[in-house]
Amino acid sequence: MAERTLLIIKPDGTRRGLADKIFKRVEAAGFKILKKRKLELSNELAERLYAVHKGKVFFLPLMEFVTSGPIEAAVVEAEDAITKMRDLIGPTLPSEAPKGTIRGDLRGERDRAESGVIENVVHASDSIENAKYEIELIFGKEWIK
């Protein structure tokens, strides 16, 4: 069954001009991009997006990082979209992401900023529930399936 998920090109990816390249890879992997938008995350929106990490040692540096510049977000759809997108982007740590994954192929010069925040180019929802929550935060209820 077709699912929808959220994909975000993080500030490190937008600064490096990787959004178009990433979106082309996503489409080539069989995803349909339903809606895109470029925005800067407010502190409030970033805290809601990453609420699951609140209280962890890296939460405040993560907030600084994800609000440090524009992001590009997309609602994408495919059969088994959550699992397929997670496979396409690769593991959280770019140094552990194999060639052929977005994080493996497009990693920057460093996996971690001095703050300890992982600069890993993209974010993707990790469950159907989180996809619905995250899509609603960025795009509104009408994009939830």
**CA 10, CA 32: separation in Å to the nearest integer?**
20
Which single residue is written with the structure tokens 């770019």?
94
- Active-site choice (76, 123, 125, 134): 123
19: left (phi over 0), alpha (psi -120 to 50) or beta: alpha
User: For position 96, what pLDDT does the model report?
Assistant: 84
Mean of the per-residue pLDDT values of the chain: 91
Better-predicted residue by pLDDT, 71 or 110:
71
Residue 111 CB burial class (10 angstroms; 0-12, 13-18, ≥19): middle
User: For position 112, what pLDDT does the model report?
Assistant: 56
CATH entry 3.40.920.10 includes domain 2-143:
no
Q: What is the pTM of this model?
A: 0.92
What residues does each domain of the chain span? 2-143
User: 123 catalytic, yes or no?
Assistant: yes
pLDDT over threshold 90, residue 109: no
User: For position 115, what pLDDT does the model report?
Assistant: 47
